[in-house]
Amino acid sequence: MNNFEALEKEILDKKFRKKLYAGYDPEDVDIFFDKIISYIKDINITISEYRKKNNDNSEKIKELEQKLEQKESIINEINFQLESIKKEGYHMLPFMQEMSNMKKEIKKLSKKETKNKK
């Protein structure tokens, strides 16, 4: 039982002695306490809703943190590969240029063959 439920129970169970000459009208007191209980119930419901939202948001945060870790891992891998390409790629540049030239020559030859067949 939480504090609000205990307070609600205490208010509901509270009994007042009647005085003969002075005091408050018991009906007015009951009406006032009913309003207080209603307010406490509303607060309790609101707190429960916020707790649920908080739990839901905590779950979402965990999911997003996992996704972020995955993306950071991918970025780190890509950066590693880029660094490797930069280091090794410069040594391969002459070979890559020669391959590019060979592709161009093959295209030229293919065009000539196509023209000759017509």
pLDDT value of residue 68: 93
If the chain, 118 residues long, is cut into consecutive pieces of 10 residues, what is the mean pLDDT of each piece?
75 72 77 87 92 95 93 89 75 75 82 67
- Give me the pLDDT at residue 75, please: 92
Three-class SS of 14-79: CCCCCCCCCCCCHHHHHHHHHHHHHHHHHHHHHHHHHHHHHHHHHHHHHHHHHHHHHHHHHHHHHH
Please state the pTM of the whole predicted model: 0.47
